[in-house]
Amino acid sequence: MIKRKLELAVISDLHLGTFGCRAKELLAYLKSIDPEVLVLNGDIIDIWQFSKSYFPKSHMKVVRYIMKLAMNGTKTYYITGNHDEMLRKFSGMNFGNIEVINKLELDLDGKKTLFFHGDVFDFSVQHAKWLAKLGGKCYDYLIHLNTFVNYVSEKFGGKRVSLSKAIKNSVKQAVSFIQNFEEAAIEYAANENCSTVLCGHIHQSADKTIVIKDKTIRYLNSGDWIENLTALEYFNGDWKLYKYVESFVNETADETDEAELASFLKEFKLA
């Protein structure tokens, strides 16, 4: 396979260890690129909802492949999110060529670029964590139901649907939350004298340019690998939003390798 050369790739909100994670599609994407730098922008392993009884081999393959990329020379930054906030105690540490941090600033072709997950702007995460965790669990169950609905739909020649997208797009509060989140991220970038800001967290991919305080700020969001299957790619001085062509994957036979999972947890002191 001929891999696409990239200066930088950004993925976020993989939620490895949950039913909704599209790990097989994600692995296919990672194998199609050759990035100099890989930014994992939060919620990579879903520690909030982690269960030793559910961490399929396809999810572990993603973890192993990311480690392989790092060992083969790809500088990898793991930016912590709210679902993997336990890793914040490792901020500043390096595991091989993987650096764990809470936010990242890079100079890309003379443009100061800011990367962070974005949960800092989420009231429920900061002030009602129990509510955020409950919402995350409900979201996972909804995605699990969605997988079954799509399986039945495609069996009878129908199209894939996204129940959570339909709900979010129809609820005014959700639409307002996304808008407020984007405005807060853009204002923060302006205050930090950055011309570009990249976030995750809200599972809503975006690429927009806003003028605020006489500054032109480009706001980018990498989306997620549950519903949108999107990433951000930087090459030849510009950003592009990558969209994976969706395909249904049946993971019913994708069992958990308990021995390998136990070894991984021990290595990263998560067990």
Which domains can be identified in the chain, with CATH numbers?
4-267 (3.60.21.10)
What kind and span of H or E run contains 176?
helix 172-191
pLDDT digits (tens, 9 = 90+) for 29-43: 999 999 999 999 999
Average pLDDT, stretch 44-73? 88
pLDDT band at 269 (very low <50, low <70, confident <90, very high): low
State yes or no: pLDDT of 163 exceeds 70.
no
**Average confidence (pLDDT) over 187-192:** 94
Tell me: the pLDDT tens digits for 150-161? 555 566 666 666
Neighbour count for residue 241 (Cβ, 10 Å): 16
Separation of alpha carbons 21 and 52, rounded Å: 16
Max CA separation in the chain (angstroms): 56
d(CA 117, CA 126) in angstroms, rounded, equals: 13
Supply angle C-alpha 162, 229, 182, rounded to 5: 85
Q: Which range is most confident: 112-116, 123-127, 244-248? A: 112-116
Q: Band the pLDDT of 246: cuts 50, 70, 90.
A: low
pLDDT given at position 129: 46
pLDDT digits (tens, 9 = 90+) for 5-31: 999 999 999 999 988 899 999 999 999
Could you tell me which residue, 124 or 104, shows the higher pLDDT? 104
DSSP codes of every residue in 85-153: GGGGGGTT-EETTEEEESEEEEEETTEEEEEE--GGG-HHHHH-HHHHHHHHHHHHHHHHHHHHHHHHH
Q: What is the pLDDT of residue 221?
A: 97
What is the tens place of the pLDDT at every residue in 200-214? 999 999 999 999 878
Q: Concatenated DSSP letters for 8-24?
A: EEEE----BTSTT--HH
Which tokens belong to 67? 């480690």
Decide if pLDDT at 125 tops 70: no
